Amino acid sequence: MRILHFEEVSSTNDIVKEYLAAREDVIAVARRQSAGRGTKGRTFLSSEGGVYLSALTFYEDLPASRAFEVMAHAAVAVCRAAERFGVAPKIKWANDVVVGNKKLAGILIENAVSGGKLDHSIVGIGVNSENDLSALCSIAISLSEAAGRRIAADEAAAALIEEYQRKSAFSEYLARLAYVGERVIVTEGEEAFPATFLGVLPDGRARIRTQREERALSAAEISIRPQEEI
């Protein structure tokens, strides 16, 4: 897999898209992004001190039904990279990596499906390493803060690149899930209600138990917050 390093780009996702026609697997990592994007089209703050990485991967025979494995692998890679520095993050379903209830990293996936199979994916990952989060201290945390020492962004990026290129099992994702067995607030459309978070199915749906029933819900339908955040 080709590895590309940049000082600043508009978006690492935009960089790897340049390799779509060549059908080449590539990872791009930058010190800064001028137009980083998060989920649901939100702007993603990309100041120096963070890790901003995108990976383009092509698949030969991966059923679209297994597309969540791409997300699970990315989250596990972030966790394993952080664990190298003595940090023990958890995965907040479906695409956030947290320490306590504070966000350490976010993941954005763009999958392309053809003929019922996953053709390629673009995985964008942003990790707080040594960037200034003073304006977001109530909701975000850096590797440096979590580790109690400075973790240089370049060092964190190198660890993430290595871990992303290693294979992972879905069991590793399940082992790092946050809030399993805990009471959470589920927001579904305009409705918010308490439930117990039971885990995640291989297809990426979250399992919850309400007072009336057990349900499996997709990431597009709900958000889950621990009850103490309310």
**CA 1, CA 12: separation in Å to the nearest integer?**
16
**CA 111, CA 66: separation in Å to the nearest integer?**
11
pLDDT digits (tens, 9 = 90+) for 49-87: 999 999 999 999 999 999 999 999 999 999 999 999 999
Whether omega for the bond prior to residue 67 falls within 30 degrees of 0, making it cis, is no
Regarding beta strands 26-33 and 2-9, do their DSSP bridges make them parallel or antiparallel, or are they unpaired?
A: parallel
Q: Which residue type is seen at 180? A: V
Q: What is the pTM (predicted TM-score) of this model?
A: 0.93
pLDDT digits (tens, 9 = 90+) for 18-35: 999 999 999 999 999 887
Residue 41 is given by DSSP the state: G
Regarding beta strands 214-217 and 96-99, do their DSSP bridges make them parallel or antiparallel, or are they unpaired?
A: unpaired
Return the closest-CA partner of residue 73 out of 158, 163, 13: 163
Element (H, E) at 210: none
Q: Which residue has the tokens 């997300």?
A: 71
Task: Give me the domains of the chain, ranges plus CATH numbers.
Answer: 2-175 (3.30.930.10), 183-229 (2.30.30)
pLDDT digits (tens, 9 = 90+) for 115-159: 999 999 999 999 999 998 988 999 999 999 999 999 999 999 999
Q: How many CB atoms lie within 10 A of CB 176?
A: 20
